[in-house]
Structure 1
Amino acid sequence: MTDNIAHQITHRPLILIAAMLAMFMAAIEVTIVATAMPSIIAELGGFSQFGWVFSIYLLTQAVCVPIYGRLADIWGRKKVFFLGTSLFLLGSVLCGFAPSMTWLILFRAFQGLGAGAIMPLASTIVADVYSPQERAGVQGWLSSVWGFAAITGPLTGAWIVLHFNWAVIFWVNVPIGIISMLMLARWLPEAAEKHQHRLNITGSALLMIAVTALIGALLQAERLGAWVVLLLAVAVVSGGLLYHHERQVKEPLFPLAIWRSRIQLAGNLGNLIIGAAMMGISAFLPTWIQGVDGGTPLQAGSALAMMSIGWPLASSLSGRIIARTSYRISALIGSLLLIAGCGALLLLQAESGILTAAAMAFLIGTGMGITSTTFLVAVQNDASYHIRGICTASVMFSRMLGSALGTAVMGAVLNYNLLQRLPDFRDPVQQMMSPAQRALLTDDALQLLRQQVAGSLHGVFFVALLFALACVLAARMLPRRQSEG
């Protein structure tokens, strides 16, 4: 299958729908589970392990993304997609039967192993069946899945928990996944050309060790304490061994074309930055709304949903911008919107109100939608068919790694600022976000906490602004004209 015959494939809209169903299934998993966690904890217990339910899913997903991308180039998109989706669905079924929190965490890890195939391969499949000129437009449709999942996930989770057992939030994935696989089995053609490739086992093992150690350290830095240093040392050593191995082996896990192309480097760097900047909003804007503004979780979720709405709308628009200008101009426009949105967060005051925060989130979402789609389409158009899977997976892995990095850096910045500003208060954010604890505070204590927590969060938003400014550097690496690169 080549770009020249992509437009000749029949039933392309049905293939696109199947890919969107699969992406929706994986995208909604985090938000729908978050809503049901109080009910799960009430039955299974294990509140101290609460964070691992989310972290282990993201960790195993991130570890497998590059490996699935390479396997897709070797074995074919359909086989690897069916393998990953089957693992995901099996993990979903097992999660519903988990007898304890420990078993739920184990099954979530299994679920993440399958999810690592769904996101990159759904995007790669769509890129395969649409021509370079059409990809930006259809990537906008894929991006809309994220916005829809972010909005419907909490509502669907709440409705299911209210009317059914919490296990149904996992089992609802099964019919969606089966329908997606049946549609692709029926209408997605497999590439006719076959290439004799071998999976780089040693490189894959070293990558898994390095990524597991690095992302594990970033996601669980506060819990692990001094053990973080050991994990980071393991990541550095295994990463060095991977680099040395990749330079010598005939079939590197990451083809040399990725590192020799400015477009590929720009796409990976840009998504690393976008992932990091995104966490300044996703993780900490709700803290501002509930802690500083005194809003409800529903209000915080509604404001954050505005970013998820702006993202797909701008992603659809990016196709027209690219067609009329270039990758570089499109990415620069998105970067400027992202800078404007992150900069506006520094202007938030305790009296600003939730609508103001929502408007800023929408502006940030539009910037991310344009930049992320531009970087991804540029990478996919630059890659030939036989390495498009690993190139797409590499970009998505970079965004996941950036999210983990952003969470760790901004979390450290927030904790440092709180320690400096409020040395006599224990867990000041928790005191403000808990309605019961907030009601016990005097007016003077509450006012002091609001001011100092707001100042600490401004430090977090400043770091997000620095990441947004760095996105301009990645955008400038893209070619001035589409014919370049």
Structure 2
Amino acid sequence: MEGTKKPLVLASVMLAMFVSAVEATIVSTAMPSISAELGGFSKYSWVFSAYLLMSTVTVLLYGKLSDIFGRKRIFAVGMLLFLLGSLLCGLANSIDELIFYRFIQGMGAGAVMPIATTIVGDIYSREERAKIQGYLSSVWGISAVTGPAIGGILVVTIGWEYVFWINLPLGIISLLGVLLFLKEPVNTKKPVIDYKGAALLTAALSTMLYLLVEGGVSFDWFSTKSLILLTASILFFVLFIWAERKAVDPMMPFEIWRNKTIFYANLVSLTNGVILIAISSYLPTYVTGVMEQPAAIAGFTLTAMSVGWPLAAFFSGRLLLKIGYFKTSIAGGAFLLIGSLLFVLMQPGFGPLWAAMSSFSIGLGMGLTSTVFIVAIQAAVSYEQRGSATASNMFMRNLGSTIGVALLGSILNSSLLRYFADSGQNYSLSAINDLLSADARAGIQVESLRFLQQALAESLQHVYLVTAFFALLSFILIFGLRGKKGVKSRVK
């Protein structure tokens, strides 16, 4: 784009990705402390679900709007909403308030990562894009390395509120950089916004999310309420697909899915989203509650994933040029499978180093797959569809995380309740809050402490078994790309 100051725009985009990375890792690290202070362990997964639901629903809408109105305007709207949500989250006085503010934060987050990634696709040529996207993934991961460490320090010093407020100055600088230095072509196309599609998708995901989070906890899986919610979710999804096929300018243009590379890349991103949220959300809980490690050590185990991610992403841009898309993706899928199996085998006595090693392997898999998917998708479409195509991939990964955090949260809660019932103990889920604070653990009798830790460890192992299943599914889906020319032939 003529007039664009590429280095300054790139730096601003990197800051936006830093904000996203910090949000993903700092909040996960701080959640045990937040839950211990605000209570409501049974609503633990809703803190993640609220954010993921809104970012998942809005990512497609933002992608389409950026194609219509330009990247700058929509990026600005999303970033301002994200920063407002971040400010309010730090002011929350209860778990219910925090969940509500996370809805606002997620509403803005839907624009930050996909549009930042799309901007890079706009200002760099196809030949430059493979390396630049690799650098961006590296910067995202390297930035995330500092997240758990900063989160742990903030929690034990000035308070968990600052894990949200740290986003404010960085987000403002990033926003100003994009507004001042990015020059876009004038768009004369008459805007047609797919409000019906957005409303139907919101309804479909909301009913599905409520079913997955509360099923087996507030009501039985095999109950009238479950059946109603499942039927409603399926109906809304069907109506969404029907509306998109009829829409003049749909928020989800299904024709891009006819490209086999985009189709399988998005399916793998869906399964990868489940894996990512499983590790990010529940690893700190295991390390803090079961292994009795402080927040800083829990952060270290997530940092290992953040080290593996940029390390793999840095080389993925070069690998896809040398060995091709399929082989690079297979290598990433293998690391995801290995890492998830290591989590399944993890025992409390193995210590945080085992958790960190498992997390590192997951990071390698994410770094290898995410970079080549974005490069392939952006190379497959024109400028006019690039925002929507990039957003479709982000949507699928966010959808995977949304499904994952709800499904795995339900599995964790129902497994804990079943363990209590089978053992004849009259504990509630709120008892787990005491495991997440050193001071609270000190007040628990030794016998009760060991029982609760065993219950949490076994329940989280069920979570990791489901995660391993999705890793295996991800690995199998990558073989759908076998025989395709992929990135290697297009970039050269």
Q: TM-score, normalised by structure 1?
A: 0.85
> Which residue is 1:481 aligned to?
485
Deviations 1:389-437 (A, max 9, x none): 1111111111111112223333444455556666124358667656545
* Conservation of the 8 A alpha-carbon contact between 1:215 and 1:401: no
Task: From the superposition, tell whether residues 100 and 484 of structure 1 become closer, same or farther in structure 2 (CA, over 3 Å).
Answer: closer
Deviations 1:181-205 (A, max 9, x none): 2222232121356434511222222
> Which residue is 2:132 aligned to?
138
* Unaligned stretches of 5+ residues in structure 1: 2-7
* Conservation of the 8 A alpha-carbon contact between 1:73 and 1:387: yes
> Which residue is 1:4 aligned to?
none
Distance 1:275 1:405 in 2: 9
Distance 1:350 1:92 in 2: 34
Q: Displacement of 1:317 after TM fit?
A: 1.1
* Unaligned stretches of 5+ residues in structure 2: none
> Which residue is 2:243 aligned to?
245
> Which residue is 1:175 aligned to?
169
Among 64, 83, 86, the alignment partner of 1:70 is 64
Distance 2:418 2:213 in 1: 23
Task: From the superposition, tell whether residues 22 and 221 of structure 1 become closer, same or farther in structure 2 (CA, over 3 Å).
Answer: farther
* Conservation of the 8 A alpha-carbon contact between 1:63 and 1:212: no
Among 214, 234, 237, the alignment partner of 1:236 is 234
Distance 1:339 1:101 in 2: 34
Task: From the superposition, tell whether residues 407 and 99 of structure 1 become closer, same or farther in structure 2 (CA, over 3 Å).
Answer: closer
Q: Which amino acid aligns with 2:307?
A: I
Deviations 1:47-100 (A, max 9, x none): 987765544333222221110011111111112112222233344445566677
Q: Secondary structure at the match of 1:351?
A: helix
Alignment partner of 1:310 is 2:308 = yes
Q: Displacement of 1:139 after TM fit?
A: 2.4
Q: Which amino acid aligns with 1:481?
A: K
Deviations 1:322-362 (A, max 9, x none): 00021111101101111122223333334323212211211
Distance 1:344 1:49 in 2: 28
> Which residue is 2:185 aligned to?
191
Task: From the superposition, tell whether residues 229 and 137 of structure 1 become closer, same or farther in structure 2 (CA, over 3 Å).
Answer: farther
Alignment partner of 1:256 is 2:254 = yes
Task: From the superposition, tell whether residues 466 and 299 of structure 1 become closer, same or farther in structure 2 (CA, over 3 Å).
Answer: same
* Conservation of the 8 A alpha-carbon contact between 1:310 and 1:363: yes
Among 143, 153, 160, the alignment partner of 2:147 is 153
* Conservation of the 8 A alpha-carbon contact between 1:15 and 1:184: yes
Among 353, 356, 372, the alignment partner of 2:354 is 356
* Deviates further, 393-402 or 200-209: 200-209
Q: Displacement of 1:140 after TM fit?
A: 3.0
Distance 1:51 1:397 in 2: 20
* Deviates further, 42-51 or 99-108: 42-51
* Conservation of the 8 A alpha-carbon contact between 1:343 and 1:465: yes
> Which residue is 2:466 aligned to?
463
> Which residue is 2:390 aligned to?
392
Alignment partner of 1:81 is 2:75 = yes
Q: Displacement of 1:471 after TM fit?
A: 1.4
* Deviates further, 11-20 or 209-218: 209-218
Sequence identity (%): 42
Deviations 1:133-187 (A, max 9, x none): 3323322333344434544335545666777687665554443233222222232
Task: From the superposition, tell whether residues 169 and 280 of structure 1 become closer, same or farther in structure 2 (CA, over 3 Å).
Answer: closer
Q: Which amino acid aligns with 1:307?
A: M
* Conservation of the 8 A alpha-carbon contact between 1:328 and 1:477: no
* Deviates further, 111-120 or 408-417: 408-417
* Conservation of the 8 A alpha-carbon contact between 1:269 and 1:398: yes
Q: Which amino acid aligns with 1:330?
A: T
Distance 2:47 2:341 in 1: 33
* Conservation of the 8 A alpha-carbon contact between 2:337 and 2:475: no
* Deviates further, 238-247 or 174-183: 174-183
Distance 1:295 1:320 in 2: 38
Q: Which amino acid aligns with 2:469?
A: L
Q: Displacement of 1:374 after TM fit?
A: 1.8
* Conservation of the 8 A alpha-carbon contact between 2:192 and 2:248: no
Alignment partner of 1:201 is 2:195 = yes
* Conservation of the 8 A alpha-carbon contact between 2:59 and 2:114: yes
Distance 2:419 2:155 in 1: 40
Distance 2:453 2:172 in 1: 49
Q: TM-score, normalised by structure 2?
A: 0.83
Distance 2:116 2:335 in 1: 28
Deviations 1:1-34 (A, max 9, x none): 6xxxxxx775322211111112222432355456
Q: Which amino acid aligns with 1:186?
A: L
* Conservation of the 8 A alpha-carbon contact between 1:124 and 1:392: yes
Task: From the superposition, tell whether residues 202 and 327 of structure 1 become closer, same or farther in structure 2 (CA, over 3 Å).
Answer: same
Among 119, 125, 129, the alignment partner of 1:125 is 119
* Conservation of the 8 A alpha-carbon contact between 1:19 and 1:180: yes
Q: Which amino acid aligns with 1:72?
A: S
Q: Which amino acid aligns with 2:350?
A: S
* Conservation of the 8 A alpha-carbon contact between 1:210 and 1:236: yes
Q: Which amino acid aligns with 1:245?
A: A
* Deviates further, 279-288 or 306-315: 279-288
> Which residue is 1:5 aligned to?
none
